[in-house]
Amino acid sequence: MATFRIKRFNPEKQPEPYFEEFNLDIADGATLLDCMNEIKWTLDGSLTYRMSCRSAICGSCAVKANGHALLACQRQGEHLLDNDDTITLEPLGNMKPIKDLVVDFTPFWDKINKVKPYLEPKDEAPAKERHQSQEEFRIIDDASTCIMCGACYSDCNTLEVDDNFLGPAALAKAQRFVGDSRDSKTLQRVQDLSEPGGIWDCTHCGECVERCPKPARPFDRIKEIMTVALENGVHNNNGARHALSFTNSVKRSGNLNENRIPVESMGFFNIPGLLSLIPIGLRMLLKGKVPPVIHHSIDEVDDVKRIFKELDQ
């Protein structure tokens, strides 16, 4: 017998959420969604969640199971049991719960809309369709598989502390159009995506890739946008300067010059930004954490330079 510990919330009856336990025998091969349906249909008809396709296509059944977002119809219940034969279910994170496992997707959709998720073509519509080669389509193929389930958005660490961050799903959608050979706004798109709240605010934790049930893999798409932004000379922001400073430091000496990187990332002429580094520098000094003033190259620096040269060719 498995225990389902489900976070319940009905603001019309009780302002605070609470956990309720249900016991259920998990049938062989039953998905988590099958189990939730069984609970709803036989134990408590008021249990509320979204579902539709039951085939990992519509994206509506995403919930948190044992702390991580997933599609309830894509995973077998038995595989999710913890050591106490329990599965803990909660609504997706980073969005406001409405009732039980249903959350308000408004911020998610607002951010998708913000990245202009539609083609802005180069020329007038042709008589027939606009063609792409297989190679051109491959660039946007993975991002096109997103089913808007919100699992990545739920578990994104940056969104937990910064509502302004566009988030992994919107950025994956943005790559779908940044990389589209038929689009005319690539430069404008990467400039917009380099603003605060965009690509450079991602912490590279990779959580969205772990949670994504499709090949969309948002962090991989974010890296692709970063590459396009840098290739298009969109360097006038802290994130791009940081990436370039980091790369140049390794290229020059084989390791990181930790005194130089913060200054280069902030920008030499960004006086308020540079002044903002002073308190951190002083705290580091007091704790004895200031890196050596004279930066030394590693012994194998020639090998590092050779690798960069090969990459540049």
Name the site residues for ligand FES (rule: CB under 6 A): 51-54, 56-61, 71, 73
For 158-195, letters b (16+ CB in 10 Å) and e give bbeeeeebbbbbbbbbbbbbbbbebbebbeebbbbbbe
Per CB under 6 A, does 61 bind ligand SF4?
no
* Residue among 46 and 106 whose Cβ is closer to ligand SF4: 106
Q: Which does residue 61 bind out of ligand SF4, ligand FES, none, counting CB within 5 to 8 angstroms by kind?
A: ligand FES
CB–CB of 223/190 below 8 Å? Answer: no
* Residue among 22 and 219 whose Cβ is closer to ligand SF4: 219
> Could you tell me which residues come within 8 angstroms of residue 281 by beta carbon, excluding any fewer than 6 positions away?
290
In the region spanning residues 249 to 278, those forming contacts with ligand SF4, defined by CB under 6 A, are: none
As a whole number of Å, the end-to-end CA separation of the chain is: 61
Q: What is the C-alpha to C-alpha distance for residues 122 and 102, in angstroms, rounded to an integer?
A: 40
Minimum distance from residue 79 beta carbon to ligand FES (Å): 16
Per CB under 6 A, does 140 bind ligand SF4?
no
Minimum distance from residue 57 beta carbon to ligand FES (Å): 6
Per CB under 6 A, does 107 bind ligand SF4?
no
In the region spanning residues 207 to 246, those forming contacts with ligand SF4, defined by CB under 6 A, are: 207-208, 211-214, 216, 218-219
Q: What is the C-alpha to C-alpha distance for residues 172 and 170, in angstroms, rounded to an integer?
A: 5
What is the CB neighbour count within 10 angstroms for residue 72?
Answer: 26
Q: Among residues 197, 206, 262, 267, which is the contact residue for ligand SF4, using CB under 6 A?
A: 206
Convert residues 166-185 into a mask of x (bound to ligand SF4 by CB under 6 A) and - (unbound).
Answer: --xx--x-------------
